[in-house]
Amino acid sequence: MGQGCRPGSVLALSADDRMACRARQPAATVARVAKVPTSSVSEPSLSARMARQALRLAVQLGLPVESLCREAGLRMEDLDDPELRIPYSVLDHLTERMVALSGDANLGLHLSRMDMADLDDPATFVVLTSATLRDSMERGFRYQRVWGDGERFRLEDTERGVRMRFTPIGVWRPAHRHLAEVALAQFATGVRFLTGEDVRPLRVRFVHPAPEDTREHEAVFGGPLEFGAPANDIEFSQEDARRPFVHADALLNAMFERQARHALERLPQPTTASERVREEVRRTLSGGDFSFAAVARALRLPPRTLQRRLADEGQSYASIVESLRRELAEAYLRRRMSIAEVSFLLGYAEPAAFHRAFKRWWGTSPESFRRGLNAP
């Protein structure tokens, strides 16, 4: 879920809040060009919001905050800057030091309870004002780079419904257990808050082994848990994916989506291998050569090196192409383009192949999907 989507969050929108948001100038919520003062801009980075919230939890736990900042290479005065982005390695180190100093075995679950509200984050407001749970997942996936480089979140259809997968950036380290737990815990609690219903996931999976005591996990997620799994993900039924959001607002959503797109445009160029592949595929998808070999040549990397880097990020070339096609298909159909034109723009040799892929993604045909857009 977007940052801040949790019970008790100040992002709950009252009627007065909605009117104030409509009156607000769009530029007020668009982050300026990100800064990465602690490393080269070539290193993958994320918004400093999570580090700020981690340090707030450190205060509650009685940990030496100034010492933690020095060890992580952070300055307290910088963390109030809404533009600040930090390397993932900094957050990893901070998380691991907090666990070591506090002895808190469930630090990620406790971090998920912290208020992540940030009025300078349009991507979170896009999620908040989405029409349904599935819509919010689609948009959270689409604008996730506002929160951090790389495709940490990936939306996938399943036989029973839909799931969101979370893959930490970089080679596995102990912090990734806690970052996976905070990500999925925020998702689980955020869904209940934003639908106003006691929605329970079909299944929650984690790559790491089960902790000695899972009672707190069971209470937070309220659904079947699996540890030592192939991936970190949370799955919901088709029925729950269609649940409306209590703060759904088409006008606000469109406004915040414009701001989120602008925020993406103003970020530094993609730095992870998956982002570079995604951008190259997007550039060559219609009429160009977007094969894996061609993409590797364009990025000036040996194919095996590129494949290894994608694997280190928990990605694959095929999954990147699939997710990009799915995202663009929805956008093109909403713009009332013909099926043949959409098929060409997505790089399919014939419309029949596009029809099969679309049915797999959405469970319906492109024509039925378009008719649904026109329904009152």
For the chain, the domains span 15-250, 272-374
Which pLDDT belongs to residue 267? Answer: 83
Show the tokens assigned to 187: 């998702």
Which pLDDT belongs to residue 200? Answer: 96
Which pLDDT belongs to residue 222? Answer: 95
Which pLDDT belongs to residue 94? Answer: 95
Cα–Cα distance for residue pair 331/129, rounded to 1 Å: 18
Q: What is the DSSP code string of 94-133?
A: HHHHHHHHH--TTHHHHHTTS----TT-HHHHHHHT-SBH
Cα–Cα distance for residue pair 137/131, rounded to 1 Å: 11
Q: What is the pLDDT along the chain (376 residues), one digit of tens a residue?
A: 655 454 433 334 444 444 444 433 333 333 333 333 433 345 778 998 889 999 999 999 999 999 999 888 888 778 878 788 899 989 999 999 999 999 999 999 999 998 766 777 899 999 999 999 999 999 998 899 899 887 789 888 888 999 999 988 877 899 999 999 999 999 999 999 999 999 999 999 999 999 999 999 999 999 999 999 988 999 999 999 999 999 999 999 999 999 999 988 888 776 688 888 988 998 888 878 899 999 999 888 899 999 999 988 888 999 999 989 988 888 888 777 889 889 988 999 889 999 999 988 888 899 888 887 665 5
* Among candidate residues 15, 16, 265, 242, the one with its CA nearest the CA of residue 130: 242
Cα–Cα distance for residue pair 77/288, rounded to 1 Å: 48
CA-angle at 358, arms to 355 and 376, nearest 5°: 105
pTM above 0.85, yes or no: no
Show the tokens assigned to 32: 């300026």
Largest CA-CA distance found in the chain, in angstroms, rounded: 62
63 contacts 102 by C-beta, under 8 angstroms: yes
Query: Hunting for tokens 């969050």 — which residue is that?
Result: 9
What is 272-374's CATH superfamily? Homeodomain-like (1.10.10.60)
Dihedral, 238, 244, 248, 254 alpha carbons, nearest 10: 30
